[in-house]
Amino acid sequence: MERRGAAKWAGFAAAATALLALCVFAGRPIEIGAWPPLHLPFGARVPAGSFIAVYAATWICCIAAFVLLPRAIRFRTAAVTVLAVATLARLALLAHPASDDVNRYLWEGRLVAAGLSPYRHAPVAADDVAADRFRDPDDRIWTGINHPEMTAIYPPLALALFAATSAVAYDPLAIKVVMTLFDLGAIGVLLGLLHRRRAAPRLAILYALNPLSLHAFAAQGHIDAVIVFLLLAAVHLAADRQWRWMYVALGAAVAVKYPVLLAVPFFVRRENVRHGWIGASVAIAAFAPFVWHDGAAVFASLMRFGSDMAFNGFLHGWVRLAAGAIGPATALCALASSLVFVFGLARFVQLGQDSNWTASSAGAMFSLSAFIVFSPTIHFWYLTPLLALAALEGSALWLLASLTISFGFVANGVATDTGAFALPVWAQLASWSGPAFLLALHCRRPLWPRFPVPRSVSVVIPARNECAWIDACVRSAAADASVAEVIVSDGGSSDGTVDSARAAGARVVSDAAHAGRGGQIAAGIAAARGDVVAVVHADTRLRPGALDEAIAFLAANPRHIGGALGSSFDAQSLPLQILEVANCSRAALSGVSFGDQVQFFRRGPVVEAGIYPAIPLMEDVELSLRLTRLGRVAFLWQRNRVSARRWQRNGAARTALIFRLLLTYMLRRLFQTPETMDLYHRYYGVAVPERAESASGVGARGPVSGNA
């Protein structure tokens, strides 16, 4: 066991080391546009392509670290490990050239410190004598400001932060250090939220080591680090029911960057609405001096930016092609975004007022997602708040977008080559095609389902001729306090399986009309009475507390319908360890789990919807896909012991066979309700009686078959 643990730590260490090496390489003082292009087959050329390749490699290392962090690790140890690697990665990137936005931060900060308003004084302006002393041609910061004819676009609290930082050091590194500190603070808050939700600490890696957050803050120094910190802090304060401080965080966030205003309504509850004046007071106190002095000039550049500019919009670019101009496209997207927002808010008012605090983070993610999807301009750092919420909410959409958004860096390369900051159509397609597909899948899922707190678990064990394993399986399943019953669903055993199960304390259900494991499990579910059903294979040994953790997770996450606990093989070999990592990766990143990973779900909604697939084979895959119709699914990264006996016999051939069958099943599923009898025959090598197979819900009947 010690060797096994050391091997897992070695895998994580290798991924983390590779990520740090990539950060050191990317942290060189070279502008993104100056990185060499990539030359692909057929004459294709990708400007700044070498930087995109390094970014993509960093993303892959992030996913590898997420998967390879050992499961047998305490939360505190994992948190310290994640924070340590995240800090080192950020230190490695500090030498990277800051964004030209940082030049504006520093220059506008100097104006505020001198008592001048950046909403009235642009970096370049005729007949503006008052600010001339800050326009020094030898000042690289001033000469490096983008859109110098525009006045300040950022809200007043952001300007105050710029002023405080520039007073300490009029240097881009000072801004980057401040943003990095906020970024690390956000990781700490995220870890605290994951602990409260009984979720795996490794989820924080998806934000902490993601190249999106690494390059947005430590490398480029964008102000959005403050937003991520304040938004996560507001969620944490909502969880603690510290309403006053929650509104302080939200008011401050709105005074740092405007889009956060869209998330505020999703934090409002009947029980906290009386404290809303606090958040409003914080925002008003920040804006009032400037609005009093500058009037509408405070919002002049914001309105111009929103109406006249566009870059790499998720949907805006295609609407613009249809409309023929930026203005009509922006108006149409603004209308669509408003309708989506109102729809979400109506659903939230209907379902969220009395729900668990997790509705606040879900609502914030929904509102900011709607804003990004319809926004005319999307720079990569705009996604950082959504990436942090995605790590908390378990959404794959923005995790994928954090990779594909790197094609936006093509514009940096184009600017170096031609002087024009422009993004080719193919690069925009590469940025958003994958996320658009996932968004289409997300639109079919419920927004904020709300399930009651579960209290009990019914364990269903499908078995056939498992006399040697069933006793230990039943006893391990019955050991947790939350387990109300253990049901063994027998598939026609000819050995002592039934007697051994009863002797161990299980209730046995036996029906010769059920087809294969799916039919057996359906019979067990029909007999179950617990709030939650856990499906445990007969050759699995649950570790103590495994099912209690599942109950606690569902209680803390009322929008989750179920998922899988996780398992590890009872034998050691390199192929088995690779297979184990692959299984965990699939379940965690796609939500598709296998039966030997101990699937669990809320019994009531599944039975009511009739979605359990009573099919001979692939019932576990089909269940994973159907559960998303009702709510979110999760993978809990447990280490329940499962026998490696079948994998040790013809392991490579068996793995290849399962892959072929899974691919065949998924392709069939795209076009029709798939039948699995032929797949069952190919998998087990035995025939089944010819009888109608049903892929419908719990209780569907079919032919007798063996269980494996």
Q: What is the pLDDT of residue 700?
A: 41
SS3 5: helix
CA distance 343 to 340: 5
Q: Is the pLDDT of residue 298 over 50?
A: yes
Structure tokens at 128: 């503006």
Give me the mean pLDDT over the 310-337 stretch.
90
Residue 410 is assigned to a structural domain of this protein? no
Q: What is the pTM of this model?
A: 0.92
Q: Is the pLDDT of residue 6 over 70?
A: no
Q: What is the pLDDT of residue 2?
A: 46
Give me the mean pLDDT over the 83-97 stretch.
97
Q: Which residue has the higher pLDDT, 72 or 703?
A: 72
- Which range, of 550-564, 620-634, 686-700, averages the lowest pLDDT? 686-700
CA distance 646 to 655: 10
- Which range, of 251-255, 372-376, 511-515, averages the lowest pLDDT? 511-515
Q: Which of 149, 537, 111 is nearest to 290 (CA)?
A: 111
Cβ(676)–Cβ(615) below 8 Å: yes
Q: What is the pLDDT of residue 371?
A: 95
Cα dihedral across residues 645, 595, 635, 442: positive or negative = positive
φ and ψ of 533, to 5 deg: -110, 130
Q: Which residue has the higher pLDDT, 689 or 696?
A: 696
For the chain, the C-alpha Rg in angstroms (whole number) is 28
Residue 482 is assigned to a structural domain of this protein? yes
Query: What average pLDDT is seen over the chain?
Result: 89
How far is C-alpha 243 from the geometric centre of its chain's CA atoms? 26
Q: What is the pLDDT of residue 372?
A: 95
Query: Tokens 């809320």 label which residue?
Result: 602
Convert the pLDDT of each residue in 392-448 to its tens digit. 988 899 999 999 999 999 999 999 999 889 999 999 999 999 999 999 888 877 777
CA distance 469 to 491: 15
Q: What is the pLDDT of residue 685?
A: 66
Residue 565 is assigned to a structural domain of this protein? yes
Q: What is the pLDDT of residue 28?
A: 93
Count of the separate structural domains present in the chain: 1
Structure tokens at 425: 């159509």
Residue 497 is assigned to a structural domain of this protein? yes
Q: How confident is the model at residue 513 (pLDDT cuts 50, 70, 90)?
A: low
Q: Domain of residue 671: give its range.
A: 457-684
* Neighbour-count burial for 359-389, b at 16+ CB within 10 Å, e otherwise: bbbbbbbbbbbbbbbbbbebbbbbbbbbbbb
Convert the pLDDT of each residue in 278-297 to its tens digit. 999 999 999 999 999 989 99
Cβ(219)–Cβ(179) below 8 Å: no
Convert the pLDDT of each residue in 626-642 to its tens digit. 999 899 999 999 999 99
How far is C-alpha 575 from the geometric centre of its chain's CA atoms? 29
Q: How confident is the model at residue 691 (pLDDT cuts 50, 70, 90)?
A: very low
CA distance 154 to 135: 20
- CA angle, 655 as apex, 654 and 657 as ends, to 5°? 65
Q: What is the pLDDT of residue 318?
A: 87
Give me the mean pLDDT over the 682-692 stretch.
55
Bridge partners (DSSP) of residue 633 are 562
Q: How is 306-339 classified by DSSP, letter by letter? A: HHH--BB-SSHHHHHHHHSSHHHHHHHHHHHHHH
Residue 501 is assigned to a structural domain of this protein? yes
Q: What is the pLDDT of residue 697?
A: 57
Report the share of the chain in percent with pLDDT over 70: 93
Q: Which residue has the higher pLDDT, 655 or 292?
A: 292
Q: Is the pLDDT of residue 127 over 90?
A: no
Q: How confident is the model at residue 650 (pLDDT cuts 50, 70, 90)?
A: low
Q: Is the pLDDT of residue 706 over 50?
A: no
Give me the mean pLDDT over the 20-29 stretch.
96
Q: Is the pLDDT of residue 155 over 80?
A: yes
CATH of the domain at 580: 3.90.550.10
Residue 232 is assigned to a structural domain of this protein? no
Q: Is the pLDDT of residue 209 over 60?
A: yes
Give me the mean pLDDT over the 262-269 stretch.
93
CA distance 380 to 410: 12
SS3 470: helix
Structure tokens at 275: 């404290």
Q: Is the pLDDT of residue 350 over 80?
A: no
Q: What is the pLDDT of residue 186?
A: 98
Q: What is the pLDDT of residue 598?
A: 96
Residue 577 is assigned to a structural domain of this protein? yes
Query: Tokens 């983070």 label which residue?
Result: 361
Residue 655 is assigned to a structural domain of this protein? yes
Cβ(460)–Cβ(672) below 8 Å: no
Q: How confident is the model at residue 666 (pLDDT cuts 50, 70, 90)?
A: confident
Report the share of the chain in percent with pLDDT over 90: 71
Q: Is the pLDDT of residue 689 over 50?
A: no
Q: Which are the contacts of 609, defined by CB distance < 8 A and separation ≥ 6?
A: 629, 630, 697
- Which range, of 1-5, 74-78, 198-202, 286-290, averages the lowest pLDDT? 1-5
Give me the mean pLDDT over the 123-144 stretch.
92
- Which range, of 73-77, 189-193, 640-644, 659-663, averages the lowest pLDDT? 659-663
Structure tokens at 72: 């047998």
Query: Tokens 């026609």 label which residue?
Result: 492
